[in-house]
Structure 1
Amino acid sequence: MNTDLLAHSEAIWQAVEPLLPGFTVEVLPSIDSTNTELMRRARAGALDPVLLVAETQTAGRGRVGRSWHSRPGQSLTFSLALPLTPREWSGLSLAVGVSLAESLHPDVRLKWPNDLWLDGRKLGGILVETASLGHGGGASMPRGVVIGAGINLARPDTQVVSAMAAATPGAPAAMPPAGLAEVWMGVTAGEALARVAPALVRDVLRFAEEGFGAFAPGFARRDALAGRPVRLSDGTEGTARGVDEQGALLIQTAAGMRAITSAEVSVRPC
């Protein structure tokens, strides 16, 4: 068991429990996916807020079904589950990104809708999922939200970067990884978790009260795509122009401005 993660779990609990009564921290040596496990609990009606951290994920998941694998000491993988009744859900993943970036380092940027970038490379990813709690549906009914994050800690392996750069002919080049240790030398998983987790809880609760608008300025300051040429998954090209009040990506195309939601496209710089 990772004693570093365990050593920081008590301080995290003390910081968060007053905000979320009943809050617990669980540290596991290995699991298929922290998000999958907490979604299983949410669908079974579990209401208590929990932070689930794993040294290793064997079947971690990213957005649109992408896999995310973690190795002990090389990355930080965790999921936060809690019941939530926000005024509206739009922009939650962006607010989570703002929270994590502001906690980690001034150089961390946000690539819409759910990636953390460092020096133009992927540092981490975010996956937000929800499940109904109770019966009746309705806007006032709390939903269980599970917020998962995977953050690379170690400096990227140069052989891995070289292999990713040698993309298959005709296929888009894979994005090389970044590691938090590039800007935070010697960082451990426990140290990174202790820095991001309490702030994340506070910011999610703030989002529930104030919506994405409270985080829009922070996103704009760290928007990695703003002003850059981008290509949508449907082949459309244009220039990224920030996000709207709901967190939709604004793309200036030859046919005019388009507002893109996270369910419609994947976006990469041209």
Structure 2
Amino acid sequence: MDLANFLIQLLNSVQYGLLLFMLAAGLTLIFGIMGVVNLAHGSFYMLGAYLAWSLSAQFGSLTLAILVGAVLSAIFGLALEWLLFRHFYHRDHLDQVLLTFGLIYIFEELRSILWGDDVHGVPIPDLLSASIPLTDNLSYPVYRLFMSAVCIALAVGLYLLISRTRFGMKIRAGAFNRDMAGALGINIKLIHAVVFALGVTLAAVAGMIAAPIASVYPNMGSQVLIMCFVVVVIGGIGSVRGAMIAALLVGLVDTFGKVLLPQVAGMLVYMLMAAVLLWKPEGLFKQ
């Protein structure tokens, strides 16, 4: 592998890892702070992709579609938390698994009714459709760099929200001891609603920005869900910092594994997870 190909694969692995982080961050927040096992998290990724396809066709702008889709996703997350999830905070994890597993089928059926079962493509905006030449015959798409930039900006914003704001302090207090935080006057129900809506929005935005390169198709959320859980387990349940590092590790192992060891590429990520769990059963970082 020459330097140009190595650089392309490195950029691809970082971009994939950052996209995984956006998905896994919402999942680890929901589980770490609210204690809810959400198997339907991949459906929010699918929701974002279909919103990008339908809204970009209506508005003629992917940027506007992402902005409107993010708002709609946040509203959807708030409504879903209020209608269903807040009634399962103190229930067994098995009840939560059954609820969210059922939601996967409900969301898939609603997707089929609203948008059909065809595979769709989302056009890349003209401003981002160019490529940066690396050699005479190799180049790298600008849109992939745009995806990485959006993911980094959202990761920085999430870090600042949780660690540098008063509301973030309340989130951390609720995650550490929700009963004590509630006794001190913190509105735990509001914290949970905002955290859940934030997790839904992050997953949906990931689906929206990935739609132009991954296409939009049925059951697309199920494929990313397993990888999200791998990232959460490796990074440590409830740790956003761990999710970032684990997502980048998974991106590197998965991308370079497919290039260098294609025969065992499907196993490498799970071998990485097994190695981390043997070394640190709680994951790389604690909550």
TM-score range, shorter chain: under 0.3
Structure having greater relative contact order (Cα 8 Å, sep ≥ 6) = 2
Instruction: State the TM-score, normalized to the length of structure 1.
Output: 0.25
Q: Higher helix fraction: Structure 1 or Structure 2? A: 2
Q: Higher strand fraction: Structure 1 or Structure 2? A: 1
Instruction: State the TM-score, normalized to the length of structure 2.
Output: 0.24
